Structure 1
Amino acid sequence: MSALPGAAIAPSSAASVRQQPGGIVHPRLSVPVLRFRDGGGLLYSTLARLIASGAAVHRGELVERAGLARSTVTRHLEALIEAGVIIEDGSVGRPGRGRPPQRLSVNPRAGLVGVADVGALEARLAITDLAQNRLASLDIPVDLAQGPEAVLEQLEAALKELHGSVGAILATGDRSGAADGEPGDLCAVTVGLPGPVDHAAGIPVRPPIMPGWDGYPVGQVLSQRFGCPVLVDNDANLMALGEARTLPKDQLPLLFVTVSTGIGGGLVSAEGELHRGADGAAGDIGHLPVRGADDVVCRCGKTGCIEAVASAAAMTARLERERAAQPGLLTETAEDALTGTEELTRLIRHGDPAALRIVLDAAEHIGEVVALLVHVCNPARVVLGGTLASVGDELVSRVRGVVYHRALPLATRNLRIEASRLGEHAGRVGGAVLGVEQVLSPDGIIDLMQRQR
């Protein structure tokens, strides 16, 4: 299959098949609380997610973890196995005599999840199975100013082409849930957008860098086109969720701060769940005010926002102003310069003094905002992601220094502040987690079982 125009990774290439970024373990899935006399979808969902999360690897553990009668667990487990959602795959080694128990796992081929992590300039797409193996991935350029109809058509076409490309991959392995040469069904799609999102309604709400998108029913439109649930969230939330679910539980709660074209944030609780707040606005830190910027106008229409002075776009604008004022300032490192953020990152890698000074100044502002949030949220870990956090150590180191200096010892004595381990993959990982949990939710798993029959 030929790659789409502008594709950074062809979906049929070996590098994009079944690869997990950096050897990171599969992210954890959450498990719903099972109450007495709950049944139906919730019971199926609980059993499936106990298995998918690794909390129960055989029938005995499943009975123990679920806290239900063995007969109840067995009856519902057999229904899941018969539907092709759960499989018994090999034996579990254990000491002692007797036949070893069979290992339980979610059938990765029972369904697929699509992810579109949409940024200001490009969208990172992926197709994963229910075991969170990334089967194919693709990066495409996007122009959000074209409006939602044009961009969503582009995403739809790219995801459907990417989905079609995994048919050959599925046909070469376990074919459960997939016919020869045909991909499994897309059972959920997750879309991350670079702006405020009402997650429950699936709509962006007055996103500053997305003209014409306010109130557009992204989730509803794409759900009709794909024929499955479509989850819409803020891109920083997906990054936060992806990062949090690949960390040990003792490193939560987590605050994720992304420094790219804009500035965003995501909060993940000690239980590993996203904290969205009452209206989905939790973590939207880019428009918190900072000192000394009262006269700086932000794209949101207000003044003094952290995004207006410390985002990659703001840093690039400052770099251009300084270059215009002193044309010879950057002559040694700006030959054949790129534009915008790409130029800024190139200059940072080359150790350009002016670029480094601008980044460190921005990091001072970011550090002050993070210090405030540390007192409010008391996270165990602060993760910095986005373009500028991955270029070098300067941004992360300066933010860390400011936070440790400004925040009180009780809030920082065990605090870790680091760059994202997942980097550009964080949004895709978080999107896959959200999508798989939707498929294995009480409503989703009933639909999945019906699809398999």
Structure 2
Amino acid sequence: MSLSAGDLFDLVRTGAAGSRSDLRRLSGLSRTAVTARVAALAEAGLVVLGEDRPSTGGRPATGVMLNAEAGVVLAAAVGRSRTQVAVFDLAGRELAAASLDHAHGSGPEEVLPPAVRRLAELCADLSGSGPVLGVGVSLPGTVDPARGVSIDSPVMGGWDEVALAPYVAAVEAFAEAPIFVGNDADVLARSERMGHAQEFSDLLVVKASTGLGLGIIAEGRVVSGHRGAAGEIGHTKVDDAAGLPCRCGDTGCLETVAGGWALVARLEEEGRPVDHVRDLVARALTGDAEAKHLLRESGRRLGDVLGVAINLLNPEAVVLGGDMAGAFDVYAAGVRESVYARSSALATSGLQVLPATFGDRAGVVGCAAMALDQVLRPSAIDARLVQEKVGPVGLEPTT
């Protein structure tokens, strides 16, 4: 079957093609077919035509580039005590960002309206940034991406089965933008598609913050599992936590001895003034021995469970993200200690433990990547061209 204009756009967007001749070579389409499809993309403002490239024989190759200014996507990474919001162009570059704190356990009514208003303010400050093409939102716990709702977020009260789209649509400029919802660990993994996944095809991406989660990249694809519940490492039962109550309502979960909330509770019991795991990390970075000990122990206990995943999935690297990874050297030392003790020599041969590429921005970067992958996928581009009637899309075979 002949490739459509959306397929050619994807070759340009991913960097596989940078000229019409590249598109002809990769697609097998005729010069006329490629020219027509590229013209439709250019008329829609999705690509821009650059200067002719030097000829290697025959006609010069006309440069074709993604028009990153053709629109924006919005990102909102909702955490247990903080929501990060940002605006990105179509090349995935962050244009503006903000952070909003909220009380633990806040519901959507307390969190989403101020977050959406802040996004509207950011867009207003970016005059001429183009239309909002999509919105990516991440939540802790399991989500149903098809319906755009949380289905199991026991530590985020009041979110389950609540449709998020109406909150976004309350702002007129966002009303037509589709919303895409993902698990917080999954979007962290998606951020690495623009980071470490460009070097490694198989990664385990840990989110170690108030809670613990795991994103999985296998052969370059993010794996979410049945019902999106892959990677719930924080609620794996471990012997060290036997009988300890978890915030999920169960007992014996890894989070009760290794989650950020549990570490903060221990310091509070000792009379140490900390409000969040970020305070614990700040203490560790200034040399506080107890804070460093707690973070290393958390990493070690996480590594006990992570070692099993490494044996099963054989990743090339483990990426540590989230607030606790802010003290990377301390936390990673604990992870390595257990991983190398628990995993097979073959599974750990050449294994690397790396910090998240985008640090504490990884959540919003991953939300943007999720939205971009959806609104710029070939079928979405073809549908847009048909709707705008800008020219041949090439959905039918063309010779």
Q: Same fold (TM over 0.5)?
A: yes
1:229 correspondence with 2:178: yes
**2:298–2:334 contact (8 Å) kept in structure 1:** no
C-alpha displacement of 1:300: 0.9
C-alpha displacement of 1:414: 2.3
2:308 is matched with 372
C-alpha displacement of 1:101: 1.8
Q: Give 1:232-243 correspondences, 5 Å limit.
A: 232-243=181-192
C-alpha displacement of 1:222: 2.9
Supply the AA of the counterpart residue of 1:53: T
Which segment is superposed worse, 155-164 or 211-220?
211-220
- Percent identity at matched positions? 35
**1:258–1:384 contact (8 Å) kept in structure 2:** yes
1:295 correspondence with 2:243: yes
* Cα offsets for 1:263-305 (capped at 9, x unmatched): 11111121x2211112111112111111221111111111111
1:152 to 106, 112, 115: 112
- Which sections of structure 1, spanning at least 5 residues, go unmatched? 1-35, 171-182, 325-333
Secondary structure of 1:188's partner? strand
2:7 is matched with 46
2:16 to 55, 58, 67: 55
Question: Matched residues in 2 for 1:163 and 1:410: separation?
Answer: 50
1:354 is matched with 290
Root-mean-square deviation (CA), in Å? 2.2
C-alpha displacement of 1:221: 4.8
2:147 to 201, 204, 218: 201
Secondary structure of 1:391's partner? helix
Question: Matched residues in 1 for 2:134 and 2:96: separation?
Answer: 16
1:436 to 372, 389, 392: 372
**1:112–1:128 contact (8 Å) kept in structure 2:** yes
C-alpha displacement of 1:136: 1.2
2:256 is matched with 308
C-alpha displacement of 1:352: 2.0
**2:328–2:355 contact (8 Å) kept in structure 1:** no
Question: Are residues 120 and 365 of structure 1, via their aligned partners in 2, closer, same or farther at CA, if it must alter by over 3 Å?
Answer: same
C-alpha displacement of 1:241: 1.0
1:384 is matched with 320
Question: Matched residues in 1 for 2:37 and 2:328: separation?
Answer: 51
**1:256–1:382 contact (8 Å) kept in structure 2:** yes
1:280 correspondence with 2:246: no
Specify which structure has the higher proportion of strand: 2
2:42 to 81, 87, 95: 81
2:280 to 344, 350, 353: 344
Supply the AA of the counterpart residue of 1:51: V
Question: Matched residues in 1 for 2:202 and 2:169: separation?
Answer: 32
1:399 is matched with 335
Which segment is superposed worse, 443-452 or 359-368?
443-452
Question: Matched residues in 1 for 2:166 and 2:216: separation?
Answer: 26
**1:143–1:151 contact (8 Å) kept in structure 2:** no
1:161 correspondence with 2:121: yes
**2:224–2:230 contact (8 Å) kept in structure 1:** yes
Supply the AA of the counterpart residue of 1:304: G
Supply the AA of the counterpart residue of 2:100: I
C-alpha displacement of 1:260: 0.6
Question: Matched residues in 1 for 2:199 and 2:346: separation?
Answer: 17
Supply the AA of the counterpart residue of 1:276: S
Supply the AA of the counterpart residue of 2:226: A
Supply the AA of the counterpart residue of 2:375: V
C-alpha displacement of 1:59: 0.7
Supply the AA of the counterpart residue of 2:206: V
Q: Give 1:161-180 correspondences, 5 Å limit.
A: 161-167=121-127, 170=128
Supply the AA of the counterpart residue of 1:159: L
Supply the AA of the counterpart residue of 1:283: G
Question: Matched residues in 2 for 1:347 and 1:156: separation?
Answer: 33
1:24 is matched with none
Question: Matched residues in 1 for 2:336 and 2:238: separation?
Answer: 17
1:424 correspondence with 2:385: no
C-alpha displacement of 1:420: 1.4
Which one has more relative contact order, counting CA pairs under 8 Å at least 6 apart?
2
Question: Matched residues in 2 for 1:49 and 1:223: separation?
Answer: 28
C-alpha displacement of 1:437: 1.8
TM-score (norm 1): 0.80
Secondary structure of 1:156's partner? helix
TM-score (norm 2): 0.90
**2:165–2:179 contact (8 Å) kept in structure 1:** yes
Question: Matched residues in 2 for 1:99 and 1:372: separation?
Answer: 57
- Which sections of structure 2, spanning at least 5 residues, go unmatched? 391-399
